[in-house]
Amino acid sequence: MNTVLCLLLVLAASFGMQAYAQQFEYTNTQVGEGLIPLGYPVPIPVDSLTPIDGFRTYQALHLRHLQMSEQSATITRAQIGNTEYARSIWAYTLSDSNNHTESGALEGAALINGGIHAREWQSPEAVTGYMEYLFDHANDNYIAQYLLENLNLVIVPVLNIDGFIQTQRFPKQVTESATTPRDGRMRRKNMRDTDESLVTAFDNLNGVDLNRNNAPYWATNSQRSSGNVSSLVHHGSGPASESEIQALHQAAKLAKEDRLRFYTDTHSFTQIYFTPFTENPRRNDIAGRVATVMRAANNFKYDYGPSAAGGGIGATDEYFANTYQIPAYTLEIEPKTSGAEYGGFGVSHDGFILPGSEVARMRKETTMASLSGLYAMTEVPVLMSAQVWDASGENLVLSLRWQAESQSRVLQTLQSGELSSETDYQLHLTFNKPMRWLENGVLAPFPAVSEPLDIAIKLAGIANSSPVEWVLDAEDGEWRVSDNYHRYKTDTFVLPMRLPSAFNWQSHSLLFLEIDTHDFAGQKLDTNPATIPDWVDGGWQNYEDATGNASSDQGGVAKAMRFIDDGSDMYATSPPPSPPVTPPLPPSADTTGGGGSAGVIFVLIGLIGIWRTAISKSYGEDKQN
């Protein structure tokens, strides 16, 4: 294709058919003819293998990706296709070597795409930031390690490699006009039927918008998608006609597409999570909840914009949402409006040119948000084990654990003993995932979603043929952070426990723990660990709520951890406890409690927002996701 195109250029020039493109140049503050002052230094990509407070060249980013894959046992690479200019498109799988979670479930998969629009430099930097965080924190016994051990994550750092290199080849130069620049630094599309020179004008508007080249809504929106090859939103000759989109489909196969449960396409700008709704209300509701989690990671700095089901523009998030019935997003990174937010002049399209001084912070913020979304979709929370130790923590009295066997779990009694009244114990509860948010290694609120404590515990059952319950004071317990956790920081809650004189083990025909809590993403416990949850057709299967409904996607209060089991239905409606609820049990005299507030305070935000149809009007006609 390149040889033929060059010959055409020579012929065109020979016959006087070729006009020279008018060029413009971005500057800091310098003004003059053909100059576009930004009001801050024009970012120039740097060759650096390590993250910098600025942008890196494509070659530096690519070498960094290779370096991480060569030095990590949990990062592998695969070529998924080639560009128009025969450059290799790479995808990276971040996962351990087995296909099962630590709790015995089959691992789910997630796909994150970067660099689909060439001029949006924030995207490859952000997505590379996700990889670098997981690489640097692979053994953190917290979120990074949890994701690597329980999720099959595939990342495409740069999809539109040809276009991205073209923008970096001309970091200050653009063509067409000062208000609607198109080639050079402001190329959006791929390089189909386009040379790499800015001098030749006839091809500067060529190329395909890869975010208009997708089923099921390819060429269905004449306002935001076009068959005109010169259009900024030219949709190509057919759905997935472009090699880059075909490569993205290969990335989905690499992720084991039948296991997909999360997708993000990373763009800039307007600081919002867009998601297309489908005809599946469960999928739409969960997509809204996960968007809330990602937004909460940065204290709701980002907006949320769901669109109505049944229409679209040919975007990749529409393809993945409708094809796989999963939460799928177009993440538009900052700024919200323009470079004026960073002290710039606010000229046309400067929202695509994030100042270099903002890049490191942007990487950190988008990393925390995206990892939080992945955390929410990796697994729902499950109470996996309960242990009762003596006050010294040296002698195990009781131990129950849910053990995976084939496609289900069985509650195993690992230590059988009896509890006595007026005796000090330690209750250890272990979950399948980190349950609380940490900042600098310290328990912290996850804004508007969860507080550091957020757990209520009862010991309940049937004694002398009557319902009884004993309320344990959760404020005297703590989520383990520095030691005595099971596998991940905050996956274990430890509570001192002393049963009153009225308690009599022998009088009980049924005795179980009643645990009311949630993970830091606000998801409540799976109430029946025996049936392993999985993502199926846009919702969680076998994620039982308090009534036993396996398709509510809600979870509830867990009552399945039984010390004494009478074989009764745990979801059966029972009369109010009699005698009346005992006041909270006093802590043992030689223990100190952890801080926090009791009880769950979070209600997940469901369907919110309306489609922001004025985006292109507010931020320039070219700003379309």
Q: pTM for the full model?
A: 0.90
Which is the catalytic residue, given 244, 332, 334, 544? Answer: 332
> What tens digit of pLDDT does each residue of 255-314 get?
999 999 999 999 999 999 999 999 999 999 999 999 999 999 999 999 999 999 989 999
Mean per-residue pLDDT, 137-166 = 98
Question: Are residues 358 and 394 located together in one domain of the fold?
Answer: no
Distances (CA, A) of 256 to 122, 130, 239: 28, 20, 22
Name the pLDDT band for 614 (thresholds 50, 70, 90).
Answer: very low
The stretch 483-499 carries a mean pLDDT of 96
Do 392 and 335 reside in the same domain of the chain? no
Whether 180 and 61 share a structural domain: yes
Can you spell out the DSSP letters for 181-220?
--SBTT--S--TT--S-SSB-TTTT-S--GGGS-SSSTT-
* CB count in 10 Å sphere of residue 260: 23
Residue 283: inside a domain: yes
What does the pLDDT read at residue 3?
53
Amino acid type, 567:
G
Q: Which helix (H) or strand (E) holds 133?
A: helix 122-136
pLDDT tier, 501 (very low <50, low <70, confident <90, very high otherwise): very high
Find the length of the chain: 625
Regarding whether 557 and 456 lie in a shared domain, the answer is: yes
Beta bridge partners of residue 512, listed in sequence order: 460, 562
Q: What is the pLDDT of residue 616?
A: 38
Shared-domain flag, residues 375 and 390 = no
Give residue 606's identity as a one-letter amino acid code. Answer: G
What kind and span of H or E run contains 174?
strand 173-175
Do 391 and 363 share a structural domain? no
Is 409 in the same domain as 343?
Answer: no
- State whether 358 and 396 are in the same domain: no
- The answer on pLDDT for 16 being more than 50 is no
Q: Is residue 604 part of a domain?
A: no
What is the mean pLDDT of the segment spanning 169-174?
Answer: 96
pLDDT on residue 594: 36
How many domains does the chain contain in total? Answer: 2
Do 237 and 294 belong together in one domain? yes
Q: Are strands 455-463 and 508-517 parallel, antiparallel or unpaired?
A: antiparallel
Range of the domain at 139: 2-379+615-619
Task: Establish if 484 belongs to a structural domain.
Answer: yes
Mean pLDDT of 345-362: 95
* Residue 350, domain CATH: 3.40.630.10
**318 is a catalytic site residue:** no
How is 66-88 classified by DSSP, letter by letter?
Answer: HHHHHH-TTEEEEEEEE-TT-PE
DSSP 3-state assignment of 370? helix
Could you give the C-alpha distances from 353 to 56, 60, 558, 573, in angstroms and in order? Answer: 14, 19, 50, 60
Integer Cα distance of 424 and 497 in angstroms: 6
Reduce the DSSP state of residue 424 to 3 states and report it.
Answer: strand
Does pLDDT of 590 surpass 80?
Answer: no
Residue 582 forms part of a structural domain = no
Return the DSSP state at 357: G
Q: Is residue 287 part of a domain?
A: yes
Last residue of a domain, one of 548, 564, 580: 564
Identify the band that residue 406 occupies on the pLDDT scale cut at 50, 70 and 90.
Answer: confident
pLDDT at residue number 19: 62
Rounded to an integer, what is the distance from CA 159 to the centroid of its chain? 19
Does residue 571 lie in a domain region? Answer: no
Mean pLDDT over all residues of the chain?
90
3-state secondary structure of 593: coil
**Is residue 481 in some structural domain?**
yes
Q: Report phi then psi at 54, rounded to 5.
A: 170, -170
pLDDT at 388 over 90: yes
Does residue 411 share a domain with residue 275? no
Q: Which amino acid is at 121?
A: W
Asked whether the bond before 496 is cis by omega within 30 degrees of 0, the reply is no
30, with CB counted inside 10 A (0-12, 13-18, 19+), is: exposed
Enter the tokens of residue 179: 């208000």
Is residue 137 located within the same domain as residue 77?
A: yes
Pairwise pLDDT comparison (405 vs 284), residue with the higher score: 284
Q: Could you read off the pLDDT of 57-87 as tens digits, one per residue? A: 999 999 999 999 999 999 999 999 999 999 9
Identify each DSSP E strand in 464-502 by its residue range.
466-472, 478-479, 492-498
Q: Is residue 577 part of a domain?
A: no
DSSP 250-276: HHHHHT-GGGEEEEEEEEESSSEEEEE
Is there a single domain that holds both residue 389 and residue 357?
no
- Rounded Cα gap, residues 376 and 271, in angstroms: 21
Give residue 624's pLDDT band: very low, low, confident or very high (50, 70, 90). Answer: low
Record the tokens describing residue 107, joined without a space: 């691992």
